[in-house]
Structure 1
């Protein structure tokens, strides 16, 4: 029987499919078994796998912790090393090393930022505190360097701080300049503050501060910073100027030097500020407000001072019994020394006034008694120092002439007023000799010494007035008779002359020896003034001592020439 090929193929295919199905079912059964076994294995492995993951996490955490500990160790080592630098108090650590420490700590602070992320702020805070402390130390170094004008260190410190560090610099320089002005103002070596010296110092500082700032080559305005630096010092000086003017207003006759100082300082500042500092308008504006008042009082001060002593001596009644130094003399010497202590300011004002305006107008009454100002007639006094010297001599002359005039009224014996003048002139000279500036100032006008000598002669003339009268008594006021022998009238005149001379000489010698003249130079000067009596007596003695006027000449001729010499030498 024949088989259809297609049918046979289908049948064969069917058999193969059945066989394949059977194999698949068998495979499926095996796969299920494998799956079950795999599930069983996974169930068994899960605990082990979980444990391994935990260990891996722990290891990772441990490694991270070790890294942090290592980083903390490195940071701690840096902090420990740099803390020694920052905390050093020996002063031996250069500022550059301190700045290096701060730079290292700043880098360490960045590394320590990780600690903040995990809630640990102790480490960063400690580093920040150390950096702040180091910065303050650099600031202190900057201030000291600024105070000592050490541009190299200042530049180094400012390069560390940048513009923010300029406040340290300003603070230091402000204290330095202010202290310098305060030292002059608070000086106890003189009664009147040398405001002109303060003004000159302030102007020098203004210019030098500007130049120092320029040399630093910072991105700042040197004039603006310099103005900020000197402003407190200017305020201190301006306060002192105002105080001086207030004192002068209370009594220009006794406090005139305060106005002289204020005027000189104001004039100097207003003339010099702009060249020293561009930003000076605010300063000069304050000065201009008081400039006119200061000038008027300063110009009044010199004549007012003379009027003060003129009135003081005219009213003086407390005279020492020995014609010694009076209390107003000490006040005069103090005034003269005060003027010389601020002579630069006084010279400025004296020159502005001129020699004719430093004396009161109208002239004081004492000048009608005696004055040496005639020596200045037709003399051109050009310098301020010479004008001031003239004022000092005017003061001395006012004092001496008024003192002698008042003494002539007080003392019964005229020589006491003269001695009073000589004693006080000697005291003034001693004071001047012990004060070189005053002595130099008095001598600045070439007639001053001559004026002083004339004052001495005026005083000495008062002292030797009775000695002059004694000498005059020996002078022959009329010619004797022309015959070879004296007339009886002539003889009586000669007898009376010898008698008067003897008695008066004894009286004057006794009075002179009773004087307490402790100044050896003054005693010698006075004795020299008296010495003129000897040659007058010698001439009279030589002419009549042999007895031509009397048979008993020894009764009238008490002293020979040798005895007169001995008497005068013993005074």
Structure 2
């Protein structure tokens, strides 16, 4: 082995020996460490056995200490409401004006919050405090209600609405500062009472409704009295009501003005969901007074229905318009206004049939008619009624729609069957003017048909009956043309038929006269009478007749002359309207003249021009007939 290798090997062996020596030392050290760990473990167990009970006691003491702290905190919290109650009680049992309204309401806020917290805790120990705080809040709220009432009363002195109406001025409203105070106070009261009585008006709202409701009612009192006083009959029992002469229009204007002003106040004080309820409660007393006034007016109207039914129509229109305007502005009060109007509206309905019944009754009660055929006053009276009605078309057509077309025909229809709807009454889209036209036609038909029946009973002779009927029809037609009835009725076929019937009655009397102008011709046995120029040769006609036939012709002329003269005299003695005289005169001329001309042309030579029998020639007769017009 080379020397170098031996030297290296010796060095490595030395290193291995060193490593073995270190390994032995490490084993010895490990044994020592293991022995130390065993001893330490035994010592740890000894310490644990000694310290364990002490540590457990310490933990229990810590928990107990925590519980004691919590108990002390709970006691402190329990004592705090008592201290707070005493503190707030001194404020809330004082008057708000002494401690200041702002501080007073702050105290109520604190008390209210404390009450909510105590209720949330649900501790039995708090029940007594809860009761005390509730009573304290009640005292505070009552004091605020008194303040609220005082603020309302200061600006609730009655006013005279007439002055505002005459000047077209806005009705007074509460000033902004006042509405702000009232809103703040109401909010405080509402927050408390909404927990106690959630479905009722807050006490402040009730106070407002009472104070302001009384203010409105007293302010409108004079207008209510004026409406009743102006309804009294001044021009006699038969005086017809004149449109606008009653104070109901001013009363309705006052109601509209005051209600809208009050609605503006309410919107500034109360919450949105309260507006309608507060407004209804505020207006309830004055609406009740208004309804009472309308009932009194209704009693007056029913007592004087034939002359004052127009007041009922006026009330229906005014109150309906007021109700619609209030509904548009406030969204409320429509039902109350409708209930107040109901008695007058029912009376207005019944008036339509009552007026027709009155026409029939008055005519049937007539004991005599003008012997000269003159028109009777009831005709003008009935047409005057219709003329006046045209000034009340909106309310009348509204009533007629509710009755249905022709619903006015049955007596007492509105009063007896008002609760029973008919198919016609559902036709809300019916043309109001057409309904009024139908009612007017029914009225005229009732008038003329009853006059015809009465004329047949009381007047002798068709001629005077015809003149009488024609005169009344002429008055009807003239009063239609000269008024607002013309565009509503226009050309009435029914009226034309009555004029034709009157003319037929009158000309029937002339038919007896025309009989004398008829003769019998036997054209098959006799030759055609010779003509002179374009006319008939009377002499030749007479030569062809026997003596007996000639005597018959003479008698016909004599009878015609007597009858004709009587009828002409009677015609001139009749009292005729100008248009009736013209029409009947033309009718007679058109009927008689052709017959007489023919008869005269054939037989006028019967007295050889002496005029003993043929009293009138054609031109004379034509002149007389023309004078009848």
TM-score by length of 2: 0.50
Q: Is the 8 A contact 1:386 1:444 kept in 2?
A: yes
Match of 2:574 in 1: 515
Among candidates 506, 511, 514, match of residue 471 of structure 1: 514
Q: 2:433 aligns to what?
A: 385
Structure-2 separation of matches of 1:556 and 1:393: 50
Report the counterpart of residue 528 of structure 1 in structure 2: 586
Query: Structure 1 residues 149, 177: closer, same or farther in 2, change over 3 A?
Result: farther
Which residue in the other structure is 1:280 paired with? 333
> Structure 1 residue 324 and structure 2 residue 383: aligned?
no
Q: 1:559 to 1:209 in 2, by over 3 A?
A: same
Q: Does 1:568 align with 2:625?
A: yes
1:195 touches 1:265 (CA, 8 Å); kept in 2? no
Specify whether residues 526 and 325 from structure 1 end up closer, same or farther in structure 2 by C-alpha distance, changes over 3 A only.
same
Quick check: 1:506 aligned with 2:550?
no
Q: In structure 2, how many angstroms separate the alpha carbons of the residues matched to 1:177 and 1:482?
A: 99
Could you list the runs of 5+ residues in structure 1 that have no partner in the other structure?
A: 1-134, 362-380
Alpha-carbon distance change, 529 to 232 in structure 1, aligned in 2, over 3 angstroms = farther
1:356-401 CA deviation, whole Å, 9 max, x = no partner? 433348xxxxxxxxxxxxxxxxxxx952222222222222222223
Question: Contact 1:460 / 1:526 at 8 angstroms: preserved in 2?
Answer: yes
> RMSD across aligned C-alpha pairs, in angstroms?
5.3
Q: Displacement of 1:506 after TM fit? A: 1.0
Map 1:130-529 → 2, pairs under 5 A? 148=167, 158=175, 186=230, 191=241, 202=252, 206=256, 210=260, 214=264, 219=269, 234=287, 238-243=291-296, 245-246=298-299, 274-280=327-333, 283-284=336-337, 286-287=339-340, 290=342, 295=346, 298-360=348-410, 382-433=430-481, 436-437=483-484, 439-440=485-486, 443-445=487-489, 449-476=492-519, 482-484=525-527, 486-488=544-546, 490-517=549-576, 519-529=577-587
C-alpha distance after superposition, 1:436-481 (max 9, x if no partner): 33x24xx4245x5222222222223333331243235434577566
More displaced stretch, 205-214 vs 420-429:
205-214
2:394, 2:247 → 1: CA distance? 9
- Counterpart CA distance in 2 for 1:544 and 1:209 is 90
Deviation at 1:316, TM superposition (A): 0.9
The change in CA–CA distance for 1:359 and 1:479 in structure 2 (over 3 A counts) is farther
Moved more, 502-511 or 169-178: 169-178
The alpha-carbon distance between structure 1 residues 513 and 180, as it changes in their structure 2 partners (threshold 3 A), is same
| CA deviation string 1:275-334 (max 9, x = no partner) | 44344277247438x56x954x55544344323322321231132343334343354244
Asked whether the equivalents of residues 287 and 340 of structure 2 are also in contact (C-alpha less than 8 Å), the reply is no
- 8 Å CA contact 1:227, 1:279 repeated in 2: yes
CA distance in 2, matches of 1:158, 1:465: 84
Counterpart contact for 1:184–1:194, Cα < 8 Å = no
200-209 or 417-426, larger mean C-alpha shift: 200-209
Q: Which stretch of the first structure deviates more once superposed, 454-463 or 161-170?
A: 161-170
Distance 1:495 1:193, change over 3 A: same
Deviates more, 1:198-207 or 1:231-240: 198-207
Q: CA deviation at 1:245?
A: 4.0
- Is this contact kept in 2: 1:304–1:360, CA < 8 A? no
**3-state DSSP of counterpart to 1:316:** coil
Gaps of 5+ in 2: 1-153, 183-207, 412-428, 528-540
CA 1:313–1:149 in structure 2 vs 1: closer, same or farther (change >3 Å)? closer
Give the equivalent residue in structure 2 for 1:3: none
Q: For residues 144 and 425 of structure 1, do their structure 2 counterparts lie closer, same or farther at Cα, with a shift above 3 Å needed? A: closer
- The equivalent of 1:44 in structure 2 is none
2:253 and 2:451 map into 1 onto residues whose CA distance is 45
**Change in 2 beyond 3 A, CA 1:546/1:555:** same
CA contact (8 A) 1:333 1:431 kept: yes
Return closer, same or farther for 1:492/1:294 CA change in 2, 3 Å cut-off: same
Q: Distance in 2 between matches of 1:178 and 1:533?
A: 69
Whole-angstrom CA distance in 2 between matches of 1:408 and 1:354: 34
* Comparing 248-257 and 550-559, the one that deviates more: 248-257
